A = this chain, B = another copy of it.
């Protein structure tokens, strides 16, 4: 029994790790991937996704190009100082064995919502433009989705693109507001949780030591990303933003404090623009669900993701080597 998942991503470094975790999970049926602007352009992200899939011998998974601009405004140019010029830390992967499908990401999502009506889970780890576009084209898509899990926002933690705004949400605040207010079940994995689930240099070395080229490459592309985080954590390591959203969605890591509370995205032009406003007022220290709230905010996790992630990726790598495919 596998779970059909549509994965929406802006494939930079942590998206690649998240993709690896999805591919490694035996319970996941990755039925489609959409690319969106964010860490890199939508086209670059899709190219990265296709190369990673080919390296993992999974080139049959359909990948659709999605929106390259937010619902309002234009693509900001990405963050090459974090993810490298190509989004994969400057590491050049072998050419992909496949090309994007014809339909765009929003159409793919709407189609899959019919094919897997009631069962399809969405995991979104980039700006939410593709989801917002799908909701605009067919608002009923929300009724056919089992759940949406997204990496985004900063509930009580500082933001990363402004003092209060996290990049995925802020890079398309209008789409994010559409997603949190649509009638589906949403789980937000914000910086509060992702900045406390870290991947250390010793963890990276385990990936580098893998026989599988796919897993080895994941270790390589983390190199530059680790440099960026010295300014944040004082040492070479990284947050596990996107992989944590995948892990929460597939149950590889359990949420700790994760109340359902009212959530609104600041779409004003004020200094709070892009903030994910989570109403966490109320009795402390226990955060409790609020009546009628459809958005769950994961404030922390019961266990750390890194050991689970390493175990999954190394197992997947051994499988690839045993199969003797390209990813070995």
Contacts and interface: CB of A to CB of B under 8 A. Distances in A.
Interface of A: 156-160, 163-164, 195, 231-234, 262, 264, 266-273, 275, 277-284
A163 B272 contact: no
A284 B156 contact: no
A156 B159 contact: no
Q: Which of A157, A267, A272 has the largest number of chain B CB atoms within 10 A?
A: A272
A230 to B, nearest CB: 9
Identical copies in the complex: 2
Nearest to A191: B281
Contact of A277 (B272, B278, B279): B272
A262 B162 CA distance: 11
Nearest to A261: B163
A284 B273 CA distance: 24
A146 B246 CA distance: 52
Contacts of A233: 283-284
Contacts of A234: 283-284
Contacts of A273: 270
A79 to B, nearest CB: 15
A156 to B, nearest CB: 5
A272 to B, nearest CB: 3
A156 B163 CA distance: 10
B278 A275 contact: no
A278 B232 contact: no
B158 A281 contact: yes
B156 A283 contact: no
A163 B290 CA distance: 13
A175 to B, nearest CB: 17
11 contacts: A156-B156, A158-B280, A158-B281, A163-B281, A195-B284, A231-B283, A232-B282, A233-B284, A234-B283, A264-B271, A269-B270
